[in-house]
Amino acid sequence: MKRIIYAATAIAAMVASSAQATLYDVNRSFSGATLTGTVDIPVGIYTIQNASASPFTAANLILTVNATSYNLNNVLTGIIGGSGEFFINATATTLTFSTANANGGNPADLVFSDNTNPFNDNRYVIGYNGSPGFEYAYTDAGVAGAGVILPAIFGTAAVPEPTTMIAGALLLLPFGASTLRILRKNRTA
């Protein structure tokens, strides 16, 4: 019986560790610019205010403006301040962005950048400030922008590759086999 409990605990730990963050595919186009790639964030509802920490665990985005591409790996909250709030709703299927209490003096602008300064070029910004509901690309190759109605779906959950699912199932086979042996042994005893 102890072995069954140990096996169940190990399986639960594996499932829990694989569910810590969700990978979302991003595919956005606006005014001659594109933003594609993935972001990682645990499922949950987040409110960012006064430049509080970003809940993202990874960003691997490519911003293209005027045929020039930039790798955006930083998620910056430095342009979220005052009473401005940036909301993130990460579900098992979609990643949605929204804002509240934002205006020119209280911005709620989330930045994805190739550097760590939220005001430097080579960045994508989505939010609400003096310009309500927008997404902009500020790059060395030019500027592109468009209006966005918030809340907006920013990404969709990435579907795991079939080989990943098969590998995960194969990892569970030994646990299932040992559980069956234990159950058969207990029935005959």
On the question of pLDDT at 127 being above 80, the answer is yes
* Maximum separation of any 2 CA atoms in the chain, in Å: 76
Residue 147, pLDDT score:
96
Q: What was the pLDDT predicted at 161?
A: 46
pLDDT at 187 over 80: no
Q: Write b or e for each residue in 153-173: b if 16 or more Cβ atoms lie within 10 A of its Cβ, otherwise e.
A: ebbebeeeeeeeeeeeeeeee
pLDDT at 172 over 90: no
- The answer to whether 26 and 100 are in contact (CB under 8 A) is no
Identity of the residue numbered 63 = L
pLDDT for res 59? 98
pLDDT digits (tens, 9 = 90+) for 49-58: 999 999 999 9
Residue 115 banded pLDDT, cuts 50, 70, 90: very high
What band does 21 get if pLDDT is binned at 50, 70 and 90? confident
Is residue 140 pLDDT above 60, yes or no? yes
pLDDT band at residue 159 under the 50/70/90 scheme: confident
pLDDT in tens, 27-37: 999 999 999 99
Range among 3-17, 19-33, 75-89 rated most confident: 75-89
Q: What is the DSSP letter of 67?
A: T
Strand order in the sheet with 68-72: 44-49, 85-90, 94-100, 152-157, 22-30, 33-41, 58-65, 68-72
Report which of 120, 124, 122, 121 is spatially closest to residue 112, judged by C-alpha positions: 124
Domain ranges of the chain: 14-157
Please tell me the pTM assigned to this model. 0.76
What span, in angstroms and rounded, lies between the C-alpha atoms of 160 and 142? Answer: 35
The reported pLDDT for the residue numbered 103 is: 94
Which tokens hold the place of 75? 């998620």
